[in-house]
Structure 1
Amino acid sequence: MANKGSYERLSPFLNKIKPYLAMVSLQFGYAGMYIISMVGLKRGMNHFVLATYRHFIAFAVIAPFALVLERKIRPKLTLPIFLRIMVLGFLEPVLAQNLYFVGMTYTSATFASATANILPAITFIFALIFRLEKINLKKIPSVAKVIGTVITVSGAMLMTFYKGPIVEFISAQASHHATTAAATDKHWVLGTVMLLARCCGWSGFFILQSFTLKVYPAELSLTALICFMGALEGAVATLVIEHNMSVWVIGWDSRLLAAAYSGIVCSGIAFYVQGIVMKEQGPVFVTAFSPLAMIITAALAAIILAEQVRLGSVIGTILIVIGLYAVVWGKSKERSASMKDVKTIDHELPITHDTARSSATVDSKNDTIGLEENVVKVPINPQES
């Protein structure tokens, strides 16, 4: 009995922290993708081919689960929903990921993951435009969200236009100074613009996914369809841009690992988990954990890839984290207030309803008594008359 009571007390706590654990786990998955994808691209893998293979693998893994587990709850696929899925398959699988891969080769894996920190701010702005978020400047949580968004954008702009001196956290970086400096200096501004454009496409994906889940609430099926459309659209884009068919050839090496890992973890599992969390918490909450991926990636890249960390990236990251903390704090306060309002309504409504129902019952009884007194029995059998 004691164990049962402990479980019942623990269960609400676990349900409360599940969205946080899910999003933190995904950031570790994204950090691994940044490193593994960078290794595959350095081995000569075409980024269009990587994005295409990634989503074919994701579809092959997720589709069987979707067919079996959601066969009874899967809504009908109408034309408007299919068009939304086509746009979703282009925004993130094709546009955002290819911009990311090119931008990462022009800058670095650490910087590419750091620019994702602006994703919550862009998502917040889009959510305001599409009325998924509300602002009341008379309340402190709303002001915190606005100020946090401004600070986050400022940090991202600082990272874009100011690199600064190298900050060596690990002495081993010095031996790779000559090779990594050329890579990080080449097309830095162009790569940064691509990475920021990728964040806009990724944010648009989250907003449209949030709307689509309301009319097609089958997360696994939606994930499989998005990956399938992304793979088809990515294949078409690759055939149009890359005329050399040899780019499709990959071996049993880091290139295959990059496609398999990013497809299963960062497309299949990520789209599904994000969809579940988004239905409960909203798109702004889902994107608020991206700074964690940057921190993990920076540590791994400094050790594995011997990448350099610039002072501008460090200062910009600090500003972004401060801004994001303000946004998440404001969001959590508003959610707590809304939950209190819901509990108040749930507490009051049954009393009013029961009172109205009891009074209506009394009235109906009185009416029935009055009717019974005035009833005139009509004989059915003629012999009785």
Structure 2
Amino acid sequence: MGEQSSCIATLFKVLNKVKPYLAIVSLQFGFAGMYILSTISLKHGMSNFILATYRHVVATIVIVPFAIVLERKIRPKMTLPIFLRIVVLGFLEPVLDQNLYYMGMKLTNATYSSAFVNMLPAVTFILAVIFRLEKVNLKKIRSVAKIVGTLITVFGAMVMTLYKGPIINFIKSGGGAHHATAGQSADQNWVFGTIVLLGSIFGWSSFFILQSFTLKKYPAELSLTAWICFMGMVQDGLLSLIMVRDFSAWKIGLDARLLAASYSGVVCSGIAYYVQGIVIRERGPVFVTSFSPLCMIITAALGAFILSEKVHLGSILGAIIIVSGLYTVVWGKAKDGKQSETDEKNNGLQELPITDNGRPMEAIDGTAKAIEIPVSSTIFSTRGT
């Protein structure tokens, strides 16, 4: 029984360590699906403003009941400073990032726009260092690994974006006309689409940084997610009414537009905000964004099979470089985690627990025992009194 209990305890310990990795990698698959569905709906004429609005309508409807029920006892009191932070969070990601990203995707294509997500770890890392959420010590190998890994990731994104090379035909399909149209659109709007996508990445990185600060004051991930989705819905709705004057554009049926809004709302807003919030509290914003390059690789693969987008040699080489950079960053973050655990243990050894009778405890073989501290007659001497 003792060995079985030990094995179970070890298994749970391993699962707790692996859980953040599995959660963030799973989100990258979710984001990749969103990019494909959003591209299809935008190519069919759906407004990016209306898509973002419907996305957060769905997310709010889904998340709010869970937040009300599950966090009714632990939800902190709402204050004006926290509410103002939530308003800004609702603007940075639901409004600024998503609308700019959808615009960039509409001007280019799914693979090209998802390639820009690889800039997210670098921008987030720089902002985290500026706001002292991430420590950099060039004398420590783990800090150097995070910096080098981030640079490798950016280089891989540049290779994938700027170098095309020969086409690699994984499958033969009749989607050449679609690709030609997407390619012409990307060539015509290349510069403007690139600027818009860069603005999107900056908004997304800022969102992660502010979310990290907000969670320290409002440590209720589900409730914060519900508030962000609600504020995003309100602000997106107002922006959509200003930008889209044709009310017929709001009509959607049982088609790709409804699927894109529902899928994005549930998976990429509701679930993603919640999971990211949990992992950010445990590992920090840089850890969350360092996995984003995987999304581009998944999107490129799905784009080749579903949208018949042609895959070039540059995309494959860039993907290999990006994975190398990602591994380097994750290794550095893992070393950060081990260092934190060591520091906590060292701090814990500085003090001995106290028993009810005021005697300190000494840990021997996993058990705590009271120890006697001899009273020195020199220290407590009554000489001179």
Structure 1 counterpart of 2:122: 121
Alignment of 1:229-240 (within 5 A): 229-240=231-242
Q: How many residues are aligned here?
A: 367
Matched residue, 1:85: 86
How far residue 16 of structure 1 moved from its aligned partner, in angstroms, is: 1.2
State the shift of 1:62 in Å: 0.5
Tell me which moved more, 102-111 or 154-163: 154-163
Q: Distance in 2 between matches of 1:204 and 1:65?
A: 27
Unaligned runs of at least 5 residues, structure 1: 371-385
Contact 2:97 2:203 in 1 (8 A): yes
CA distance in 1: counterparts of 2:125 and 2:117, whole angstroms:
14
Equivalent of 1:287 in 283, 286, 289: 289
In the alignment, which residue of structure 2 is the partner of 1:354?
360
Deviation at 1:120, TM superposition (A): 1.0
Counterpart residue number, 1:23:
24
Q: Which amino acid aligns with 1:116?
A: V
User: Compared with structure 1, are the counterparts of its residues 173 and 332 closer, same or farther at alpha carbon in structure 2 (3 Å cutoff)?
Assistant: farther
Q: Aligned partner of 1:7: which letter? A: I
Amino acid at match of 1:214: K
Which of these two proteins has the greater Rg computed from alpha carbons? 1
1:326-365 Cα offsets, whole Å, 9 max, x none, are 22222221221221121222234227993899778958xx
Q: TM-score, normalised by structure 2?
A: 0.88
Aligned-partner Cα distance in 1 for 2:147–2:17: 26
Q: What corresponds to 1:150 in structure 2?
A: 151
Task: Single out whichever of 190-199 and 163-172 deviates more from structure 2.
Answer: 163-172
Q: Which amino acid aligns with 2:97?
A: A
Q: Which of these residues, 342, 345, 348, is aligned with residue 344 of structure 2?
A: 342
Q: Indicate how the Cα distance of structure 1 residues 9 and 330 shifts in structure 2: closer, same or farther if over 3 A, else same.
A: closer
RMSD of aligned residue pairs (Cα, Å)? 2.6
Please list, as runs of the form range in 1=range in 2, the aligned pairs for 1:1-385 lying within 5 A after superposition.
1=1, 4-172=5-173, 175-176=176-177, 177-350=179-352, 354=360
Equivalent position SS for 1:119? helix
Cα 1:292–1:59 change in 2 (3 A) is: same
Q: CA deviation at 1:181?
A: 2.9
CA gap of 1:193–1:322, structure 2 versus 1, over 3 A, is farther
Q: Deviations over 1:153-211 (max 9, x none)?
A: 33334445444444433332674453343244331232222222211110110000000
The sequence identity of aligned pairs, in percent, is 61
Q: Distance in 2 between matches of 1:285 and 1:114?
A: 19
- Contact kept? 1:63, 1:221, Cα under 8 Å: yes
Contact 1:146–1:327 (8 Å) recurs in 2: yes
Distance 1:103 1:286 in 2: 23
8 A Cα contact 1:173 1:302, kept in partner: no
Following superposition, the deviation at residue 292 of structure 1 comes to: 1.9
Give the whole-Å Cα distance in 2 for the aligned partners of 1:175 and 1:161: 21
The answer to which structure has the higher helix fraction is 1
**Which shifted more, 181-190 or 249-258?**
181-190
User: CA distance change for structure 1 residues 295 and 162 in 2, over 3 Å: closer, same or farther?
Assistant: closer
Q: Is there any run of 5+ residues in structure 2 with no aligned partner, and where? A: 363-369
Q: Is the 8 A contact 1:180 1:308 kept in 2?
A: no
